[in-house]
Amino acid sequence: MTLKTLNLNAFKPVWLLGLIPPVLFLLWWDHEAAKGGANALAFVSLAQVGQALIDMFSSGELALSYGSSLGRALSGLLIGGGIGTLVGIAMGLSKPVEWAASPIYNSFRQVPILGWLPLIGLWFGSGDLSKLIIVALSAFYPTVLYTFEGLKQVEARLLDVGRVYRLNGWQTFWRIQWPAALPSIFTGLFQALAFTWISTIGVELLFSSGAGLGAMMQQAQLQARLDIVLVCILFVGLTGFAINFLIKRLSQHVLSWRSVRA
Amino acid sequence: MDYVPHSQIPGHKVKQTGAVSLKGIKKQFNFKDRELKVLSEFSLDVQPGEFVSIVGPSGCGKSTLLRLIAGLDDTYDGTITLDGQRVAGTSLERGLVFQDHRLFPWMTLEDNIALALTNRQISKDAKAKLVADHIALVGLKGFEKAFPHQLSGGMAQRAAIARSLVNEPKVLLLDEPFGALDALTRVHLQGELQRIWLAQGSTMIMITHDVEEALYLGDRVVVMQANPGRITHTVDVNLPHPRDRASPVLHRLKDEILAELTNVPEAPNSVVRLIKGDDQ
Amino acid sequence: MKPDLKLILSVSSPLLLLIVWQAVTAFKLFPPEVLVSPTAVVAAFGEVIATGELQRHLSESLTRLAGGFTTGASLGLLFGLALALSKTVEQVFGPTFQALRQIPVLAFIPMLILLLGIDEVFKIVIIAKAAFFPVALAAYDSVKGVPKSYFEVSSLYRAPWWVLISKILIPATIPNILAGVRLSLTRSWLVLVAAELIVADSGLGQMMEMGRQMFRLDIVMVGVIVAGVIGFGLDRLFQLLQAHALRWKTA
């Protein structure tokens, strides 16, 4: 008796419990798919999904779509994050700029990001440029906010040190304000990275011409190819997971001296 | 006890510069409709090379006073001069040590100290030498590349002292420099500050709430009271440096000052009362 | 009196933007398919209100939002609490929850369309999913984050369980949970607009998409502005509720 309980405990690592819901779900899914008939249209068997994965992989389709989505997200991050950081710096360092820019920033920010798409589409067409603008915009908002907040929150006691040693404006910014705001700026960039990935998928779904995971999903949906859709979801999810993981690790690294008081 | 001016203490470098003079300083903060008098008719003359300690209860304006001398705050009435020159804004001639070390966490100790030399028009080599000398002066050799979070509180405060001295200021202002340290470290650093002062010889004005510290280090101890901040009493400490903490003179003076600080809310000038005993 | 630079700048900058916009259109620097004047947008506003089009789309959108958000947020709350309070639930569902959380909601749209069609059910489900995760996460994190010392204090004074819940657990967790609910409300609105843009049959998003396809820039702009105002209004409304619920916090 005791031996049995012991064995059970020894061979039942808790993480296995976490596999119960996905396994049950997959079994149910396959069962539905095997029923055939009307169900077969909606539910595809796991084997089919696997086959789709292999096909997409070997044809290079997946790599192409994935690469173009990732490229879009990263260039959006670079452009939107870069401009956002500059705007945030201007707003953080100059009160007049802050006063003039913040009502505009705050009112534009209220529009759900993908809500801009019809307008941007009218202006720049439904090609890559429009998509890039939206993705960059999604990176712009958080970087402005966090850069601005980071600079605003630089403590007066640190700035006093700069005054005592007669640092000029540029020296104060470069030696004190910028490094002090850096953790916040990075937080903004990390958030921007997560946002750009989401908005990349979003714009590709909406403007589904051209390459990209979102476009691929959307076209697969029109052809009722759930297997392809699922493969895309898998890769979107894995990338989201990788981004969050990366952010977690990087923040620990970047913010390591934040906890230490100056 | 005979008064031994520090200038006659052997080994103490005598400086001809660093005379600080405060005349009729008035400072008030304005809140919406009320005004709060922080300093009222504060006058003090500090000799070149002198060590003056200022003690007083919290809220007596002593930290504000230091900010005025440092030039961090220019809105006051009265005049502050250094060697006859009116003080305006901050200057590398006036060093300041804060209660918290305020080293920048993203710079090494060396870089933190070098920051103070950013706007000194001297060669790179001269700067490097000054930094190295002052790191050695405060006994932190070997920690040049350390980041502030790798230093203990006491070491960080030494680094802050080195940073404020690296410009060789005529006067060093210390705002409760050891207030945030534990008792043992504080005693140790008081000794170190005394050694540094003797070796380096600039004028020092130190704010503290620790009467013992004020007496141990100061040639003169200025006692302040609050509402509004003003000098109630000045004590000359006629003992040679370096001093013996156990000196009966220091203990007597400490009792006197403590009695004044704890017993007299509205002290008339220059009255030192003896401890009443029941009020302690 | 000293002129208030802050007030002047924060009022004049949006005003200046409007004036420049109006001036650019007045001088016909761009064709009307590219840029319409602010007054044309106002006129379009009047038009869609007079025809009842705006009200119809908006009420469609808001009904969906209400249904999806309420369902998603309340399920999320229950799930998050269960996840935090029961070790078994956490072990079984925790990993799945953490994995699904990583996938952007929008990525589920094509799958849900295939499985559920493009009817109301689909839209409610996608909004509910958007609302579910922030609330579940906030509930889970905040219950997990209640300091152990709080429980120790309550057991020290032999507080009964209902006191523990009403006096400790709820006050300690409600601020974060409400913050999660607020985030999920904003997310729901964003996803709703996106979903309506993708599967156009009705709603504010569809109004914009139709405007785009018919090159009616004025109507698209009305849509953008309304989407922004509604998003802002919802957030502000919730903020007020939040402040009301948390009066004790900074009082």
pLDDT in tens, C183-208: 999 999 999 999 998 886 788 988 99
Q: Report pLDDT for A11.
A: 53
pLDDT in tens, A85-101: 999 999 999 999 999 99
**CATH number where A101 lies:** 1.10.3720.10
**Tokens read off for C83:** 């996840």
A100 in a structural domain: yes
Instruction: Report all structural domains of chain B as residue ranges with CATH numbers, in order of start.
Output: 1-11+20-93+170-280 (3.40.50.300), 105-168 (no CATH)
- Cβ neighbourhood burial of C85 (10 Å; 0-12, 13-18, 19+): middle
- As a whole number, mean pLDDT of residues B118-129 equals 93
Does residue A247 register a pLDDT over 90? no
Closest-CA residue of B relative to A176 is B104
A99 in a structural domain: yes
Instruction: Report which listed range, A128-142, A222-236, C79-93, is most confident.
Output: A128-142
Chains C and A touch (3+ CB pairs under 8 A): yes
C187 CB-side CA count, 13 A = 25
A232 in a structural domain: yes
Per the structure, the complete domain to which residue A138 belongs is given by 63-254
Determine, for residues A15 and C17 on separate chains, whether the beta-carbon distance falls below 8 Å: no
As a whole number of angstroms, the distance between CA B176 and CA B207 comes to: 5
Does residue B270 register a pLDDT over 70? no
Q: Which helix (H) or strand (E) holds A196?
A: helix A178-206
Does residue C151 register a pLDDT over 90? no
Determine, for residues A167 and B149 on separate chains, whether the beta-carbon distance falls below 8 Å: no
As a whole number of angstroms, the distance between CA B230 and CA B212 comes to: 21
CB C195 within 8 A of CB C18: no
Q: How many domains does chain A have?
A: 1
Instruction: Report which listed range, A135-144, B182-191, B223-232, is most confident.
Output: A135-144
Does residue A33 register a pLDDT over 50? yes
**DSSP alpha helices (H): ranges in chain C?**
5-26, 38-50, 53-85, 87-101, 109-116, 120-144, 148-156, 161-163, 170-198, 204-213, 217-245, 247-250
Determine, for residues C193 and A112 on separate chains, whether the beta-carbon distance falls below 8 Å: yes
- The position carrying tokens 């009362």 is B273
A140 in a structural domain: yes
Strand B94-97 versus strand B85-86 pairing type? unpaired
A209 in a structural domain: yes
Say if A49 is an interface residue toward chain C (CB within 8 Å).
no
Determine, for residues C12 and A42 on separate chains, whether the beta-carbon distance falls below 8 Å: no
Confidence bin at A2 (pLDDT 50/70/90)? very low
Contacts of B114 in chain A (CB under 8 A): none
**Tokens read off for B180:** 């945030």
Range of lowest pLDDT (B101-115, B158-172, B191-205, C143-157): C143-157
Say if A226 is an interface residue toward chain C (CB within 8 Å).
yes
As a whole number of angstroms, the distance between CA A71 and CA A64 comes to: 10
Q: Report pLDDT for C246.
A: 76
Closest-CA residue of A relative to C199 is A206
Q: For chain C, which residues make up each domain, given as ranges? A: 48-245
pLDDT in tens, C32-86: 777 888 888 999 999 999 999 899 999 999 999 999 999 999 999 999 999 988 8
**How remote is the C-alpha of C137 from its chain's centroid?**
16
| Interface predicted TM-score of the whole assembly (ipTM), two decimals | 0.83
Q: Which of C11, C99, C104 sits opposite A201 (nearest CB)?
A: C104
Confidence bin at B2 (pLDDT 50/70/90)? very low
Q: What is the DSSP string of A116-174?
A: GHHHHHHHH-SSHHHHHHHHHHHHHHHHHHHHHHHHHTS-HHHHHHHHHTT--HHHHII
Interface of C with A in 201-220 (CB under 8 A): 205, 208-209, 211-212, 215, 217, 220
Phi and psi at residue B233, to the nearest 5°: -170, 145
Interface of C with A in 7-66 (CB under 8 A): 9-14, 17, 33-34
Range of lowest pLDDT (A169-183, A238-252, B78-92, C148-162): C148-162
Residues 6+ apart with CB under 8 A from A132: A72, A75, A76, A79
- The position carrying tokens 């300093």 is B39
Sign of the CA dihedral running C193, C198, C199, C204: positive
CATH entry, C48-245, from 2.130.10.10, 1.10.3720.10, 3.20.20.140, 2.40.40.20: 1.10.3720.10
Determine, for residues C114 and A201 on separate chains, whether the beta-carbon distance falls below 8 Å: no
Does residue B275 register a pLDDT over 50? no
CB B137 within 8 A of CB B200: yes
Q: Report pLDDT for A18.
A: 84
- As a whole number, mean pLDDT of residues B80-98 equals 92
